[in-house]
Structure 1
Amino acid sequence: MAPWRLPVLPLALVWGWVLASSSPSTVAPPQDLQITDPGLLGSLDVEWKPPPHVQTFNECTVKYKFEYRNTGDRDWKVIFTRKLKFRVGFDLSRTAEVRLQTLLKGQCTGDVEVHSDWIYATFQIAPQGKLESEVQNFHCIYHDWEYLKCTWQPGLLTAHGVHYGLYYWYEGLEHTVQCDHYIQDHGVNVGCVLQNLSQAEYQDLNICVNGSAAATLLRPLYTTLRLHNLAKPSAPEQLELSVSAAGELLVAWSPPGGRVPPHCLEYEVQVAEDAGEAAAAWAFVSTQMETALTISRANQSHVSCVRVRGRTNIFCADQGFWSEWTQDCFSVSIKEDKQLFILIPVILSLSISLIIFMLIGQCKKR
């Protein structure tokens, strides 16, 4: 009888089976997830500790999937990181929610990503005062990229003698700062003007408007702004209007002053025909980023009026406010201008003939 033998397996297959059998199929979640408020009007510190025995995964990369949102938001914001602490922004008028899981991948997992269960944490400021006591109609505009003007109206349950204060913070400030230039109405602060905010552009600007009144708790308002999305430039300058020999309107203007980057502006141009005593009916002509435009007119006997306004374009902001229209309305009668274009060559020709005739007469006298 032939001796019984074990089947011989390829060495690579055996080694792969050993690795697979020793690879972790699960990993523990992080530990001690905490949310703390450093008093920065919505920027909260979130930190955690690594999962236990993380040092045993020396042949793998340990990362964390960190997600956060406010209660009521449909989508989570996602961050992949190897850090153990993050500072992220929330709306403090709603509950802050975070969730976290461990991601493990590398030689120790056979290059397959393994993830842990989620761990969760929430944070909420204890509500103060009734919702109706919060300021109403809060609105901000970033004028010429030079100063931010915010206004509001007192809450519906506001008592006499109320005092409002606006506080703000952005990355780079060591602590929150109070407004130092309030707008008042009958002695009550109903607005604030903030200047020197260039360092806050293209990042979160956290704002809180709270108030105090005798024997009354007032609900604070929290909001986060992006200055470039609140920009409102001044009206374009040096608007000029001329007419070509072909009867086309040639419109040109200059960008407004202030700190608005010229490459961040787009313009809307409108034209109105003379309607006699009736109000002019403005017609949309063009939205463009250039500062000049040629307009062809079908009816060249009418008088036209042109106006221009500007706003931040899509390359520099998600949205913005249109400027006011140019104040001066330039009117041009194309029919009269075409006659002028015809008369100018005639006048020049007569002038040249007269000069030649005078020169010939002087030569004959000599």
Structure 2
Amino acid sequence: MMLMWGSMVSSSFYHTSVAPPQDLQITDPGLLGSLDIEWKPPPNVQTFNECTVKYKFEYRNTGDRDWKVIFTKKLKFRVGFDLSRTAEVKIQTLLEGQCTNDMEVRSDWIFATFQVPLQGKLESEVQNFHCIYHDWKYLKCTWKPGHLTPRGVHYGLYYWYEGLDRAAQCDDYIQDHGVNVGCMLQNMSQAEYKDLIICVNGSATATLLRPLYVTLRLHNLAKPSPPEQLMVSMSASEELHMAWSPPGSETPPQCLEYEVQLAEDQGETKAAWVSVSTQMETTLTISRANQSRISCVRVRGRTNIFCADQGFWSEWTQECFSVPRKEDKQLFILIPVILSLSSSLIIFTLIGQCKKRTLTAPAHQMTTVSLLTCKGRALTTLHASDGSLCRAVQKEGPSG
């Protein structure tokens, strides 16, 4: 009976509280903002052998509204911060299992902060920092010197992403009058879909300059080349058909969307561009009542929502096309006219380049046959030997 009573007492004792972690520390391994966060378990963790011990870890930079949250069983984590602002960290113990009657028990929070001593005035920091990931192949970053930058300043760009053992420096700078104002970073595919941390700092004689820290995501900075092989055609049913190919670059074809624009001929007024579609396909067919007014078609591309949160549009394709007018496709028969001279000539001028062939018929029949071929349409002009009658017929289809 005593054993049974002792067992009942033991099984009815549950932990209703737990201590927070100990010795929370933040250290900088020199990775431009990727800091190491480390702590120790609560002092009585050995008594929780029937429970699972986890930690809720939250972090942010001063000024951020929301905390980023991580649940882990580890005692060390590496996360990225903007070193131009104070790093804030907090952590608590989570206990759950038989020792808590399967209820989650949480400890109090413990806090820590980290701040890199910022040198120089804010106005000495580089201005207008801007980066574009061209064709998912190379990253081009540019900047302008700070407002309080003295002569003889030297700027350096350093970068790091997960997978590099240490921060690396740019080895291909863009210069303006001997001052570094940009950097080209090649072979950056290993940094895609990771935090790319960049620091641009400067040095000048007897002047301290404020460094700039930036965290980028390459896929959100991508700018592809324009689409290629744009082809435009008009069907017999007055449908305008467009087809193009993705740019021949490192940009994944499945990551592209396209915008198509048409320009309509407004006579003497400058043509106005109208967007007709934004899509992921590389073909588009449009049926309209007045296709004859379309004077140009162009297409551009950018990274779609399945591969990035945002991105830059490419440049537009440069090709323009003259869409045939409806009346150019009709059959014309000229009524008989009296020609005063046998050498009179009736000329039909077609849009495009035309080739002319002249055939000679027997003297008692038509004297001359002139055949003009213009982009798949044939125009035949017949000259009567007696100059009394002329009839011209425009036909569809290949010449001959």
1:203 aligns with 2:189: no
The aligned residue for residue 315 of structure 1 is: 306
Residue 274 of structure 1 deviates from its aligned partner by 1.4
Amino acid at match of 2:60: R
The aligned residue for residue 144 of structure 1 is: 135
The aligned residue for residue 119 of structure 1 is: 110
Contact 1:247 1:338 in 2 (8 A): no
Aligned with 2:145 (options 151, 154, 176): 154
The superposition leaves residues 93-138 of structure 1 with CA deviations (integer Å, 9 ceiling, x where unpaired) of 0000010000000000000000000000000001110000000000
Residue 19 of structure 1 deviates from its aligned partner by 3.3
Instruction: Give me the whole-angstrom Cα distance separating, in 1, the residues matched to 2:89 and 2:330.
Output: 74
Amino acid at match of 1:206: I
Instruction: Give me the whole-angstrom Cα distance separating, in 2, the residues matched to 1:310 and 1:339.
Output: 37
Amino acid at match of 2:11: L
1:251 aligns with 2:251: no
The aligned residue for residue 286 of structure 1 is: 277
Instruction: Give me the whole-angstrom Cα distance separating, in 1, the residues matched to 2:144 and 2:294.
Output: 45
Contact 1:303 1:333 in 2 (8 A): no
Contact 2:377 2:399 in 1 (8 A): no
Instruction: Give me the whole-angstrom Cα distance separating, in 2, the residues matched to 1:47 and 1:149.
Output: 36
1:29 aligns with 2:25: no
- What secondary structure sits across from 1:238 in the alignment? strand
1:19 aligns with 2:11: yes
Amino acid at match of 1:82: K
Residue 18 of structure 1 deviates from its aligned partner by 5.5
The aligned residue for residue 96 of structure 2 is: 105
Contact 1:252 1:292 in 2 (8 A): yes
The aligned residue for residue 326 of structure 2 is: 335
- What secondary structure sits across from 1:280 in the alignment? strand
Q: Which residues of 2 match residues 1-366 of structure 1 at below 5 A? A: 15=8, 19-20=11-12, 22-335=13-326, 338-339=329-330
Instruction: Give me the whole-angstrom Cα distance separating, in 2, the residues matched to 1:339 and 1:260.
Output: 45
Amino acid at match of 1:122: T
The aligned residue for residue 5 of structure 1 is: none
Contact 2:376 2:396 in 1 (8 A): no
Amino acid at match of 2:202: G
Instruction: Give me the whole-angstrom Cα distance separating, in 2, the residues matched to 1:279 and 1:232.
Output: 29
Instruction: Give me the whole-angstrom Cα distance separating, in 2, the residues matched to 1:289 and 1:167.
Output: 36
TM-score by length of 2: 0.81
The superposition leaves residues 247-306 of structure 1 with CA deviations (integer Å, 9 ceiling, x where unpaired) of 111000000121100000000001011123432100110000000000122213323311
**Percent of aligned pairs with the same amino acid:** 77
Structure with larger RCO (C-alpha < 8 A, sep 6+): 1
| 4+ long deviations beyond 4 Å | 340-351
Bigger shift: residues 325-334 or 228-237: 325-334
Bigger shift: residues 62-71 or 340-349: 340-349
TM-score by length of 1: 0.88
Residue 328 of structure 1 deviates from its aligned partner by 1.5
- What secondary structure sits across from 1:229 in the alignment? helix
The aligned residue for residue 6 of structure 1 is: none
Amino acid at match of 2:231: E
Once superposed, what is the RMSD of the aligned Cα atoms? 2.2
Which is greater in Rg? 2
The superposition leaves residues 283-340 of structure 1 with CA deviations (integer Å, 9 ceiling, x where unpaired) of 1100000000001222133233110000000000000000000012222124256449
The superposition leaves residues 334-359 of structure 1 with CA deviations (integer Å, 9 ceiling, x where unpaired) of 425644999789667997xxxxxxxx
Amino acid at match of 1:330: F
Instruction: Give me the whole-angstrom Cα distance separating, in 1, the residues matched to 2:81 and 2:187.
Output: 24
Alignment: residue pair count: 338
Contact 1:61 1:105 in 2 (8 A): yes
- What secondary structure sits across from 1:199 in the alignment? helix
- What secondary structure sits across from 1:103 in the alignment? strand
Bigger shift: residues 24-33 or 338-347: 338-347
